[in-house]
């Protein structure tokens, strides 16, 4: 096809490579923008589920066709720094009453029975009990000793529209490759 416009074989080969690279870049951009992206875990707030340095795949379509659910691990921008993203677990949905009593979290009067989380932590800077607003979720890190999450006014309850997506797969390290729960 390019032979018609570019008679020189060397220049035509370079032009074809440029077109292939441009198409690949466009394809990668569209996937990253609309379908999925990767995210790196920074810090230990999701230990033991996710470790510092893990790389995960974030499904951006999750909430386009579904709604957030309890225990989903989600990615969202940190309010104070739009370049920074947090990875946390949803433990409260709209209308849920969240409470923190003597180191334990309660949802609608029932203690959370999450075996993946550490307990006996501070309640943060928000006032409990708190009702999760419509269109938002309450998120916590699994390692609550070091997690900046919905307990703190800087994060608060996360509006659904700010969720980048749901973590669906651990890509790195290869030894831990697989689904994330």
- Which of the residues 3, 10, 40, 45 is marked catalytic? 45
45 is catalytic: yes
List beta partners, residue 167: 58
Nearest to 176 by CA among 42, 50, 87: 50
Please give the DSSP secondary-structure letter assigned to residue 32.
Answer: I
162 is catalytic: no
Share of the chain residues as helix, strand and coil, in percent rounded to the nearest 5? 20, 30, 50
- Which of the residues 62, 88, 136, 147 is marked catalytic? 88
Size of the chain, expressed as the number of residues it contains: 181
Rounded CA gap, 178 and 66, in Å? 22
CB 98 within 8 A of CB 172: no
Residues with a catalytic annotation lie at 45, 88
């Amino acid at each position: 096809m390019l032979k018609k416009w570019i008679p020189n074989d060397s220049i035509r080969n370079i032009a074809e490579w440029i077109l292939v690279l441009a198409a690949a870049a466009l394809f990668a951009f569209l996937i990253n923008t609309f379908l999925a992206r990767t995210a790196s875990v920074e810090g230990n707030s999701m230990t033991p589920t996710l470790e510092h340095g893990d790389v995960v795949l974030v499904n951006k379509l999750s909430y386009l066709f579904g709604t957030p659910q309890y225990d989903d691990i989600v990615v969202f921008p940190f309010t104070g720094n739009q370049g920074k993203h947090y990875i946390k677990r949803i433990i409260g949905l709209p209308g849920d009453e969240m409470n923190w009593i003597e180191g334990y979290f309660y949802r609608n009067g029932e203690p959370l029975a999450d075996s993946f989380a550490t307990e006996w932590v501070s309640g943060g800077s928000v006032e409990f009990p708190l009702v999760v607003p419509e269109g938002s979720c309450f998120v916590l890190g699994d390692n609550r000793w070091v997690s900046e999450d919905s307990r703190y006014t800087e994060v608060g309850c996360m509006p659904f529209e700010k969720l980048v997506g749901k973590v669906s797969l651990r890509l790195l390290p290869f030894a831990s490759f697989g689904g994330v729960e």
